[in-house]
Structure 1
């Protein structure tokens, strides 16, 4: 499948360095039954994020191991990335997908196929669009939770989730302000999905604070950092 990705996206710029877990000893102790890989292809104002997963065999055997999951996330705007991603999807036969019924109504359009043991999912993430504003009282209450230093992790997570039903400059401003008060992985995730460059310093600060014996958070935050760096490449191409 990696070879299919190489062929399908040949000639497309990668906006950030790949994350290929078996080649990075920092993740040797990550507790998981699988190896992971991320790639970020960029073109115009669009981003194709590729996520690959396969059984955690010995490193030397990775090249022979079949990929179990391949996901392609299309974000932003690029007419050139969609047909390349679809070429990967169409390498398999149409499939209903195993997890679609669990993912809910999140605005993401998903298409699935199966190529032998590999489940392939192409996700079209929603473009920015005008949305109804939250009632002012609701917006202020959720903002207050995020800006209060004593709010719990659960309270902050719920506030981010509810606040981000409105995608607007004031929500972005609030999320960035909240990150000055305290860490919020959910806020960093959402800002990285939206391609907000102001989130990058916060991700890098969180990365610097990760303990060496915490490879799971190190992986997650490194992926967010590189996603944001890839977005930066799309801005430079404007």
Structure 2
């Protein structure tokens, strides 16, 4: 499926749905011309009621003027929150292709995400239903305190902080949100920001904006990643979940 066709498919499938944040179309933004990658990217965020559909499109990094005719390799939609309408619209995109087991599914662990896959020629289409917030067993208090201590330790390494975030987030609870936000007061953590953005936690926005302001001009990879997380949180604010606790 060519990029122009994929974009038209998305426009048609999500017709009438509000976009909660500005799209990110990489070829149009000069800041990302030097991002070291073999692909171009486009992100969109559709919102409806209590739900968010995050769209991810990837194609070969050809000359900008050739993008429209380039074959899309990946078209992926993340469904977060609660919206039957967005689910139905995303299914329209999926049904354009033929059912497929998905070439990369073996790379994903048991993360609770339900994935449906199809293929439209060389384009792999994936619809991901991300798990809804639900009561979960609390971590043992000793484990929780030990992991929290790592995150508020200015001397902790990147790897230690990343592992602590990953293990803490097996418990989705207000105390984990509080701990992640406290960790961001100590220092930046892309993994913490990513998880808080998945949960729609508005308290992460100031930390994201601070991290964006600190990105060096010669670091377009982090600039792209942080901008995408910022847009995701902006989109969450446009849903009817805005103002409610993330848990």
TM interval, shorter chain, is: over 0.9
Q: TM-score, normalised by structure 1?
A: 0.99
* TM-superposed deviation, 1:236: 5.0
Q: Is the 8 A contact 1:44 1:237 kept in 2?
A: no
Counterpart in 2 of 1:99? 104
Matched, 1:24 2:29: yes
Counterpart in 2 of 1:90? 95
Unmatched tracts of structure 1, length 5 or more: none
* TM-superposed deviation, 1:4: 0.4
Runs of at least 4 residues off by over 3 Å: 235-238
* TM-superposed deviation, 1:237: 9.6
* TM-superposed deviation, 1:190: 0.3
Distance (whole Å) between structure 2 residues aligned to residue 149 and residue 65 of structure 1: 46
**1:1-238, aligned counterparts within 5 Å?**
1-234=6-239, 235-236=241-242
- SS in structure 2 of the partner of residue 57 of structure 1: coil
Q: TM-score, normalised by structure 2?
A: 0.95
Residues 185 and 237 of structure 1: is their aligned pair in 2 closer, same or farther, counting only changes over 3 Å? closer
Count how many residue pairs are aligned between Structure 1 and Structure 2: 238
- SS in structure 1 of the partner of residue 84 of structure 2: coil
Distance (whole Å) between structure 1 residues aligned to residue 243 and residue 160 of structure 2: 38
Could you say what the CA RMSD is over the residues aligned between the two structures, in angstroms?
Answer: 1.0
* TM-superposed deviation, 1:79: 1.0
Unmatched tracts of structure 2, length 5 or more: 1-5
Which digits, 9 at most, give the CA deviation of each residue in 1:68-97, with x for residues without a partner?
Answer: 100000000111100100000010000010
